[in-house]
Amino acid sequence: MFIRIFLILIFLSFHGAGTPPKIKAQTNPIDVAGTVVDSDGHPLAQATVVLTNRTTLEERKTKTDSSGDFSFHSVPEGPYSLKAEWPRLASLELKLEVSTEAVTGIKIRMYRPVAAMALPPPDETPNYYKMKVFYATDRSATGSNDATSFYGSDRDPNEVLSMGTCDVSIPRDHRPGELEAPSIWKLEFREDPEKHVVLLGVHPELQSQFFSELASSISASPKKEALVFIHGYKTTFEDAARRTAQLAYDLNFQGAPIFYSWPSKGDLHGYAADEGTITWTTPHLMTFLKQVASQSNAKTLHLIAHSMGNRALTQALANLATTARDPVRPHFHEIILAAPDVDRGVFKQLAVEVANSADRVTLYASSHDEALKASMRLHEFPRAGEAGNGLLILKGIDTIDVSAIDSSLLGHSYFGDNTSVISDIRRLLTEGAPPNQRTCLSEASLLNLTYWVFTRESCTPQ
């Protein structure tokens, strides 16, 4: 009896009289699982997979089974990196956040390593600025580890959006409106980050990590804003990354630059294929715009579409406006439609929904756009980006005729090549200035409808 009372007293001294012992709550084990495949998509058995906690640097390793599958059980919450190891092959390092739910369905693709571009030693200051741009694409990865060919011109067979970031060089002596590249006239046969706008690296990420990083970048910007660029016909992934970085730099955009890259063939003869693909990509773009609006924490979101990219954007905006009971209907600040290769009649049908999607919609057109003239001849219907007597002027959309200052060869890429247009877009994005307050523009009218024109006399790049 004495021993029993003694044990009770000891128990109470530790836990407090009348207070039951506290049992630590058990949490469900969190799993991280996926598959390791080679560049052709074949599973790799017995590959080593390394999961590293980026805070504690603690590593866990496992081997894939005969189906290339791997799993880690009871993974504590936190930031992790994930990579695979295999003789003579390499994988990119994936970043992920483990919280309260299992992270499954990860695919690690192994590539044959290629020689990296020669960069200056860490102790030397490079003579270029490294611009970070975010991307989303429904292109299929090629299996190459080379940044310039990481994504090809084929559609992703599963219609899955891949996301990540790119590093692009902007030379210190970069001139606004220039997309510097090697020139045989200058006896330049290789890309040089100190002279050219170069895609230095592609870093794919899990969607959760992508939006976490995007939100952090936007939160750190002065106006909490982001800009999404949708490219046009005959554009590779590399082209889109380079143009996005150049635009963001020339516009002095302080928010997060993002580009959406659909699987254009990137070739002059791929126009018909691009037309089919731009329709195929539209629902994916619509999904991505909703995700950016709901998951990026951006207070201000701008869109710029060029050429055929306007077909996907205008249709996506119209679909978003008419989707019944959709809890996420994003509203944008500035929408810029540059040289839209869109059937003029179709554009008119979508104009109301497009105009209602933003605080302001601006359409840039030119009568010297040879690409749109060719498109008009092919389709036998005028395009929304053509100027002249058929200039498209609609309620709720600011139409701007750039014909007077567009002196480029094809007259189709003035939105990024012409310093006056870049200056006008900069004032539009940074100040939200209406056309009558922008230096380069003069008021004009056609059939009693108001539009705006660039004039050489009044336009001085800002």
Asked if 141 and 234 sit in the same domain, the reply is yes
Strand order, beta sheet including 78-85: 59-63, 48-53, 78-85, 94-98
pLDDT higher than 90, residue 27: no
Q: What is the pLDDT of residues 417-451, one digit of tens each?
A: 888 999 999 999 999 999 999 988 999 998 889 99
Share of the chain above pLDDT 90, in %: 63
Look up the pTM and report it: 0.75
Mean pLDDT of the region 173-193: 87
Q: What is the pLDDT of residues 218-256, one digit of tens each?
A: 999 999 999 999 999 999 999 999 999 999 999 999 999
Q: What is the span of the domain harbouring residue 43?
A: 32-111
Please report the pLDDT score of residue 198 as a whole number: 97
Mean pLDDT of the region 330-357: 95
Q: How far apart are CA 301 and CA 358, in angstroms?
A: 9
Please report the pLDDT score of residue 196 as a whole number: 95
Cβ of 201: how many Cβ atoms within 10 Å?
A: 18
Asked if 325 and 420 sit in the same domain, the reply is yes
Most confident of 123-137, 327-341, 361-375: 361-375
Q: How far apart are CA 383 and CA 370, in angstroms?
A: 12
Question: How many domains does the chain divide into?
Answer: 2
Asked if 97 and 70 sit in the same domain, the reply is yes
pLDDT higher than 70, residue 8: no
Please report the pLDDT score of residue 5 as a whole number: 36
Please report the pLDDT score of residue 26 as a whole number: 34
Please report the pLDDT score of residue 29 as a whole number: 65
Asked if 65 and 193 sit in the same domain, the reply is no
H or E stretch including 347?
helix 344-355
In order of 117, 417, 422, the CA distances from 387 in angstroms are 44, 19, 19
CATH assignment at residue 171:
3.40.50.1820
Burial class (CB in 10 A: 0-12, 13-18, 19+), 117: middle
Asked if 210 and 294 sit in the same domain, the reply is yes
Is residue 460 included in any domain, yes or no? no
Candidates 360, 458, 461, 452; CA nearest to 418 is 461
Q: What is the sign, positive or negative, of the torsion defined by CA atoms of 138, 308, 267, 409?
A: negative
pLDDT higher than 70, residue 269: yes
- Give the chain's end-to-end CA distance (angstroms, integer): 94
pLDDT higher than 50, residue 24: no
Mean pLDDT of the region 155-173: 94
Asked if 406 and 260 sit in the same domain, the reply is yes
Q: What is the pLDDT of residues 278-322, one digit of tens each?
A: 999 999 999 999 999 999 999 999 999 999 999 999 999 999 988
Q: Which two tokens stand for residue 118?
A: 């020669």
Question: Which of 51, 83, 111 finishes a domain?
Answer: 111
pLDDT higher than 80, residue 145: yes
Please report the pLDDT score of residue 375 as a whole number: 94
Average pLDDT, whole number, for the chain? 86
Question: Got the DSSP string for 135-190?
Answer: EEE-EEE-S---GGGSEEEEEPTT-PPEEEEEEEEEETTPPTT------GGGT--S
